Amino acid sequence: MPFISNTPQQQEQMLAEIGLTMDELFDDVPRELMAEAFDLPRGLSEQETRNRLMELAEKNATHLTCFLGGGFYDHFIPAAVHSIVSRSEFYTAYTPYQPELSQGVLQATYEYQSMICRLTEMEVANASLYDGGTALYEAMMMALRITDRNKVIVDDSVNPIYRVMIHSYTQNLKIELEQTHCEDGLTNRDQILQIIDDKTAAVIVQNPNFFGCIDEFSDIAEAAHDKGSLLIVSSYPVSLGILKTPAAMGADIVTGEGQSLGIPMSFGGPYLGFMASAKQYVRKMPGRIAGETLDMSGQKAYVLTLQTREQHIRRDKATSNICSNEALCALTALVYLSLLGTQGLRETAQLCADKAKYAYKRLTAIPGVEPHFRGKWFFNEFVLDLPYEAADVIARLIEKRFAAGFPLGRYYDGMENSILISVTEKRTKQEIGMLAEALESVL
């Protein structure tokens, strides 16, 4: 039998030793609750399984040149990343409950937290959350706890996927969510300054925002702090290779999706939600945190710390119900950043921006293709207006082997002709040129 070590003889031997039959082992389950039969297929051999799954994998389109982003990006991943995180001492372990046997994961977690702090210039970070969306929701809940208020302002240039998630999560709670509307490509500060008041727990913004535009939130941070509210910034970690950090803008809590840090796209997960904050809020933070300490002989060691915030101790009064983190994804991000180093990350981020600008110039030179937001700085994504419905144009470009971008009409009324195009360092000048030719040919 696959994955069961004991032979039938051994099973008999063990049953004899404990004086029961296999059926008697289930005597405590009322007979009427036992299932009569399961309608399941026969088990497959490894070879059959691999053939079947290879066939399914080939039904997925990975031949497309990817200009699709929207918060989830096709970055280059060095081979050493996979090689390291495939070490089974990491991936077949569980939560580091026994620090003596988990110094590897614990030190890696501490290093990961340090790495997130260095990237964002924040003071503290947790061991990670499920993804960028749940991290943003958790940040919002954290702000509610810190301020003891119940109003939250979100600009609609924050990833719409995250906004709909926050909407779902707050359905049963007494939280007043107010949305401001981005008009010119930047967060709508006029509207935010108008509605922010002393009931506001937090203002949620994103940089670069969903449209790819680069913003600077110092003014919003100041206004928020004046009212005793917090500024929550959702950020794109690769962009922090060159862009101003959330800390430098006055952010109180920073979250983001870490997928771009060496984690494959894998059709939506597993991903990595990161969270960092000012040190004074660390006890209100959700999720695991690794900390440095000393062991019995006085040597440096790492443990999970501040656990009294967590569900296994605080139960219904915990800062969150989360009981794991995305440890292996956090390790992946740590390895990726260790391999890239200061210069590598800076160059990667710069290349994203350079190639995006190049693509922007090539594409806006096509008759009928116009920039949607003019005169705005963008990082590696930008919005173009097409003469026809963007969804339609994108469908035609798929036939030419391009995933050319995302149709914004899906989430924004009135943007049916707008396409969000993403360019990572992985795209070549040649690919960008070919996209421009293909786009021109279908218009």
Partner 1 sequence: MKLVFEKSVPGRRAVRIAPTNVPKINIRSDLLRQKPANLPELSELDVVRHFTELSRRNFGVDNNFYPLGSCTMKYNPKVAEHIASYPGFADLHPLLPQLRMGGMLTQGALRVLHEIDLLLREITGMAEFTMQPLAGAHGELTGMMIMAAYHREQGNKKTTILIPDSAHGTNPASAAIAGYSVVSIPSNDSGVMDIEAVRQHLNDDVAGLMLTCPNTLGIFNPHVKDICDLIHSVDGLTYYDGANLNAIVGKARPGDFGFDIVHLNLHKTFATPHGGGGPGAGPVGVKKKLVPFLPVSVVIKRNDGTYALQYDRPKSIGYIAPFYGNFGVVLKAYVYILMLGKEGLCRVAENAVLNANYVKERLKGHYRLAFDRLCKHECVFTISERMAQNGIHAVDIAKALIDKGFHPPTVYFPTIVKDAMMIEPTETESKETLDSFIDAMIEIAEQAENEPEKLKTTPTTAVVCRPNETIAAKNLNIAYL
Partner 2 sequence: MVIEGLLYTKDHEWARIDADVATIGITDYAQQMLGELVFVELPDIGKKFAGHDELAVVESTKAANDIYSPVAGKVIEVNGELESQPELINQDCYNAGWICKLQITDTKSVESLMDSKQYEEYLGGH
State the residues that interact with partner 2 by CB under 8 A: 283, 305, 307-309, 313-314, 317
311 to 340, contacts with partner 1 by CB under 8 A?
A: 311-318, 320-329, 331, 334-335, 337-340
Q: Which residues pair with 235 in a beta bridge?
A: 207, 256
CB of 5 to partner 1, least distance (A): 4
Among 236, 271, 274, 373, binds partner 1 (CB under 8 A): 271
Tokens, residue 178: 């107010």
371 near partner 1, rule: CB under 8 A = no
3-state secondary structure of 20: coil
Cβ at position 385, least distance to partner 1 in Å: 18
Q: Which does 99 bind (CB under 5 to 8 A by kind): partner 1, partner 2, none?
A: partner 1
H/E element, 125: strand 124-125
Instruction: Report CA 52 to chain centroid distance, whole Å.
Output: 30
> Which of 183, 341, 365, 388 is in the footprint of partner 1 by CB under 8 A?
341
Q: In terms of CB distance, is 30 or 414 closer to partner 1? A: 30
In this structure, the number of other CB atoms found within 10 A of the CB of residue 364 comes to: 14
Closer residue to partner 2 (CB): 282 or 443:
282
Half-sphere exposure at residue 128, Cβ-oriented, CA atoms within 13 angstroms: 30
The span from the CA of 232 to the CA of 422, in Å, is 24
Give the distance from CA 338 to its chain's centroid.
19
Amino acid at 72: F
Residue 167: contacted member of partner 2, partner 1, none (CB under 5 to 8 Å, by partner type): partner 1
Q: Do 85 and 328 contact (CB within 8 A), yes or no?
A: yes
Touching partner 1, residues 388-427 (CB under 8 A): 391-392, 394-395, 398, 403, 406-407, 410, 425
Quote the least distance from Cβ 314 to partner 2, whole Å.
6
User: Torsion angle, CA of 184/189/192/196, rounded to 10 degrees?
Assistant: 180
Residues 79 to 118: which contact partner 1 by CB under 8 A? 80, 82-84, 86-105, 107-108, 110-111, 113-115, 117-118
Question: In whole angstroms, how far apart are CA 160 and each of 183, 378, 394?
Answer: 15, 18, 20
Using CB under 8 A as the binding rule, whether residue 374 contacts partner 1 is answered as: no
414 binds, among partner 1, partner 2, none (CB under 5 to 8 A by kind): none
Q: Which of residues 177-196 bind partner 1 (CB under 8 A)?
A: none
